[in-house]
Copies of this chain bind each other. A is one copy, B any other.
């Protein structure tokens, strides 16, 4: 079967795993490295698609689990697919729902950090707690809707069916996450299950793509998702196994800190086929992620943190993050960041955005989101250019030392 996407590597940075490239999809190209904009519920929170394009967003990632519950994959399909539904004509991704198996299962009502150090014992004990909404078996994951408690089942096959109905350009295989510090047995069992699910996803995906061909529709692409937590041998085993299955690209799943990128992400990307695009799932909440991800071979990232933080008034500047609701900005008529070229910085002051937040005005969330998203997109653009002219390490040094000062995340070296 012909591929649903092509990936062309255009530059490499000697001595690193970093590369620039172009992912071509039926809805346009993505210049990599690229930050993929979070659009969980088929909307980039507080923004129109035109605003996303204006700040340089190249592609949007929505979530299968959330769209399955509301409005339902059938509604998105009947609308003509994700892009048509949300009025976005660029490339789109969907996450598989696998992360929700974790966040609504073992981590439900506790948070990921809380379970990170507590998931111990054998696989059976660890995946069944009293108040969780998701339960994993070999056949799939049984959920209860976090909205109305409805019982539902997601299997590798149904995840593929849902994703093909939602109709993004790039899908993720249905995977099982574990707490980052779970026991070796639990991590290995989840990885093995993820591998079996990956094979089933691929089979069903190929069948569904054959139907698209028959109907004259666009092919859709599928990424396998590498698991294995923070275990070198499991991560390499997972990357080898999935790499041999011949996916269109690869997602790197799991939960880890920026300082772990040079190990975890490197193990994976040194092992995966070099000629396929690699997506770091749910990372990119701060500049260190972006630099280290790219340096260790990641082509695309996604993260909802820039808009979530924006809605809380936490805004990125080249000199670090500020909280715009602080009283000291009430009479500050400078832009959020003097060096930023975003719509918000070109037209509004800190004083005005402070006023909007203090007055609970929606426009505050919009202007703040545009700024944070532009900051991340522009940083990745700068990283991409620095790979082409081999000035990456100068950029990394100057950017991270200025942004973090003395507060570099643990394990991040510049």
Q: Which residues of B contact A125 (CB under 8 A)?
A: none
Q: Which residues of B contact A355 (CB under 8 A)?
A: 41-42, 70-71, 75
> Does A47 belong to the interface (CB within 8 Å)?
yes
Cα of A36 to Cα of B409 in the assembled complex, Å: 51
If A71-B355, A355-B70 touch, whether A331 touches B41 (CB-CB below 8 Å) is no
> Does A366 belong to the interface (CB within 8 Å)?
yes
Contact of A349 among B41, B70, B79, B352 (CB under 8 A): B79
- Whether B70 contacts A359 by the Cβ 8 Å rule is yes
If A79-B349, A351-B79 touch, whether A71 touches B358 (CB-CB below 8 Å) is yes
Cα of A330 to Cα of B44 in the assembled complex, Å: 20
CB distance from A66 to the nearest CB of B (A): 8
- Whether B43 contacts A356 by the Cβ 8 Å rule is yes
Cα of A187 to Cα of B270 in the assembled complex, Å: 83
- Whether B354 contacts A46 by the Cβ 8 Å rule is no
Q: Which residues of B contact A362 (CB under 8 A)?
A: 45-46, 362, 365-366
Cα of A362 to Cα of B366 in the assembled complex, Å: 9
If A78-B331, A351-B71 touch, whether A366 touches B45 (CB-CB below 8 Å) is no
Q: Which residues of B contact A75 (CB under 8 A)?
A: 330-331, 351, 355
Q: How many copies does the complex hold?
A: 2
Task: Count chain A residues whose beta carbon lies closer than 8 angstroms to a beta carbon of B.
Answer: 34
If A331-B75, A349-B79 touch, whether A366 touches B43 (CB-CB below 8 Å) is no
> Does A361 belong to the interface (CB within 8 Å)?
yes
> Does A393 belong to the interface (CB within 8 Å)?
no
Which B-chain residue is minimally distant from A67 (CB atoms)? B355
Q: Which residues of B contact A331 (CB under 8 A)?
A: 75, 78
Bitwise interface map of A from 50 to 91 toward B, beta carbon under 8 Å scored 1, else 0? 000000000000000000001100010011000001110000
- Whether B48 contacts A366 by the Cβ 8 Å rule is yes
Q: Which residues of B contact A330 (CB under 8 A)?
A: 71, 75
> Does A347 belong to the interface (CB within 8 Å)?
yes
Which B-chain residue is minimally distant from A365 (CB atoms)? B362
Q: Which residues of B contact A47 (CB under 8 A)?
A: 363
Q: Which residues of B contact A86 (CB under 8 A)?
A: 352
CB distance from A371 to the nearest CB of B (A): 13
> Which of A41, A359, A361 has its CB near the most chain B CB atoms (within 10 A)?
A359
Which B-chain residue is minimally distant from A367 (CB atoms)? B48
Cα of A288 to Cα of B347 in the assembled complex, Å: 37
Cα of A352 to Cα of B82 in the assembled complex, Å: 11
Since A75-B351, A75-B355 are in contact, a sample of 4 more A-B pairs with Cβ atoms closer than 8 Å, ordered by chain A residue number, is A46-B362, A46-B363, A70-B358, A78-B333
CB-defined A-B contacts under 8 Å, sample of 5: A43-B363, A48-B366, A78-B351, A79-B352, A87-B347
